[in-house]
Structure 1
Amino acid sequence: MSLKKSVNLLLTTVMVFAFVLAGCSKGDNESKGSGSPAKNKTITLAYVAWDSEIASTNVVREVLESKLGYKVNMLQVDAGPMYLGISDGSADAMVAAWLPSTHGENYYEPNKDKFEDLGMNLDGTKVGLAVPTYMDISSIEDLKGDVGQSVNYTITGIEPGAGIMTATAKVIEQYELKDWKLLESSSAAMAKVLQDAYAKEEPIIVTGWTPHWMFAKMDLKYLDDPKGVYGGDEQIHTLVRLGLKDDQPEAYKFLDQFEWTPADMEAVMVDINGGMSEEEASRKWVENNADKVSKWIDGI
């Protein structure tokens, strides 16, 4: 082989090797960069369409995508299927377990051996019957009086199957509110009916919970529950499918470290209610709370 041919062959080999290295480098960068998630960094979050859980789940999604490079699938379902999804592995995680009362008996306890509970992500929640403060009643016992006629003996509720709906059905039974009915609707429809009545200072009774933007926008109060049917203050827990720690250790560690306050959640809810998209509101909160977010992803 001539010297010229040997040099050309050597140059060709070097160029091919350089292209291979460049391709590998590009692939590595795409998999590690925050803007392009790796192929195996995909996670499914289950949630219910309550304003509180829309806020929390979208903040979690934003952190997973913008800080940890995950592709996130959002699975909106009712409460029962949400728990079943985590239990059978069709969803990876949820940050919407209201415990011990709201979800405990019907959803958590029957499935507690089929998922991993990472503990509390928010403390200080409450559920019950809520009314505007201009209504002259203070207890569920007062519903046996004349107030029933003013609201057509109707409690405006949310989605059927929600824990608060099950508890409210027990309230009607245990307080012997024989003429009363629980109206099934949705979280959004309940809030709209409440806003319309509040604007006209009309009487209305709804299934309420905090944190919720409606308590920031309107002067509302809970009716006392002397029989304790709704239970006391609650916590919201993070649940993940079995095996997530091994399959997705980064996501698992973040979810384990995720914790915020009712005020944090309400800030996101108020922005969404004010017209921001769920994505915009969650991105704004994450950008404005860098110190808190850094603690969630510390060590990842």
Structure 2
Amino acid sequence: MKFHSRRYFSNPLARGLAAGALSLATATGAVQAAEPKEVRFGVQPWPGVTVKSEVSAQLLEAAGYETDTKELNTPLTLEGLSNKDLDVGLGGWYPVSSSMIDPLVQEGKIVRLTANLEGALSGVAVPTYVRDAGVESMSDLNEYADRFESKIYGIESGSTWNTGVKEAIKENRHNLGDWELVSSGTTAMLAQVGRATEREDWVAFYGWRPHWMNITYDLHYLEAPDDSQIAHTEATVYTLTPTDLEARLPNVHRFFSQYQVQPQTQSRWIYEHSYNERPEAEVAREWIAANPERVREWLDGVTTVDGESAFEAVKAEYGL
């Protein structure tokens, strides 16, 4: 688990505005309203969620909030949201994680606030040279089991997608009964894919977009002859919060209800952070400074902890 404590207002002007507002609030007796508040993130170790969380954290920090980021897998993120130990998670992939999320929504433990990314895709992927050799759907895999060494490469243990693959193998769906799921971190999985594609070896793995893998590798997502969560599936990514977020942090709730990202934007974030190996803080700050109009839309009606315009605070922080 990674834990990051963050400080806000790196810009002297923004610090001055915040200090002035705090002094004024103190003089008028409104000290409590001026105190900074904390927003706690649960972040799955996926590049898209990492940068998307970082962008939102920087905007909230400019508005006077402190943010804490915990790197957690999906089950632990959902547990933290349910127990109100976390305030937001931006990696609610549907339908891949619906079996884990929906019961908590129905039990009134978490809220599926908004779709922060639409038009995503996930499923079993192969290089196009494998597709061209005859592997177009899940039902084609076992015919070439020897070429694949009967292995499908997955991501971190505990993910719903991994569970779906294990169930498919156990139930011999798509004739995968003798196959093996190889679980590892996303970085390790993609390193395996990279080595395979360089040699034009055959490899089947968990792919998704937006992600830099779709820019770097020429991929084909396998179709399925029946309903299958591990095959080519259109996906939507939701923002998840505890049920009491609106009551505790209405400003934060408003911001996240408006925080939606286009697939091409997130793909670019992922490419810069994961493929070009740039720190997420650097990628986020550069993008915010270059896209004030999109930031303005996200911050419409959102104020700082002191009741001022959040967008004006961001302008001061980033020199816009």
**TM-score normalised to the size of structure 1?**
0.84
Q: Is the 8 A contact 2:44 2:71 kept in 1?
A: yes
The equivalent residue for 1:289 is 291
Return the offset for 1:111.
4.6
Distance 1:186 1:275 in 2: 16
User: Unmatched 5+ residue regions in structure 1?
Assistant: 1-23, 32-37
Distance 2:218 2:277 in 1: 21
Deviations 1:101-160 (A, max 9, x none): 211112332454112221211111221111111112111111121x21122111111111
The equivalent residue for 2:147 is 150
Q: Cα 1:201–1:262, aligned 2, differ >3 Å: closer, same or farther?
A: same
Q: Cα 1:178–1:250, aligned 2, differ >3 Å: closer, same or farther?
A: same
Matched, 1:40 2:63: no
Selected match of 2:167 from 166, 170, 176: 170
Q: Cα 1:204–1:111, aligned 2, differ >3 Å: closer, same or farther?
A: same
Selected match of 1:159 from 156, 160, 165: 156
Return the offset for 1:261.
1.1
The equivalent residue for 1:127 is 122
Return the offset for 1:162.
0.5
Matched, 1:257 2:258: yes
The equivalent residue for 1:212 is 211
Distance 1:244 1:40 in 2: 16
Q: Cα 1:29–1:123, aligned 2, differ >3 Å: closer, same or farther?
A: farther
Return the offset for 1:278.
1.0
Return the offset for 1:26.
7.2
Distance 1:226 1:125 in 2: 21
Report runs of 4+ in structure 1 exceeding 4 Å deviation.
none
SS at match of 1:166: helix
Give % identity: 26
Q: Is the 8 A contact 2:147 2:202 kept in 1?
A: yes
Distance 1:161 1:122 in 2: 22
Matched, 1:58 2:54: yes
RMSD: 2.1
The structure with the larger Rg is: 1
Distance 1:212 1:132 in 2: 15
Deviations 1:193-235 (A, max 9, x none): 1112112222111111111110111111101112121274121
Distance 1:62 1:109 in 2: 32
Distance 2:64 2:194 in 1: 39
Whichever residue aligns with residue 267 of structure 1, its letter is R
Q: After alignment, is 167-176 or 245-254 more displaced?
A: 167-176
Whichever residue aligns with residue 180 of structure 1, its letter is W
SS at match of 1:81: helix
User: Unmatched 5+ residue regions in structure 2?
Assistant: 1-18, 27-33, 303-320
Return the offset for 1:93.
0.7
Whichever residue aligns with residue 266 of structure 2, its letter is M
Give aligned pairs, total.
269
Q: Cα 1:95–1:228, aligned 2, differ >3 Å: closer, same or farther?
A: same
SS at match of 2:40: strand
Q: Is the 8 A contact 2:105 2:112 kept in 1?
A: no
The equivalent residue for 2:178 is 179
SS at match of 1:175: helix
Selected match of 1:274 from 273, 276, 280: 276
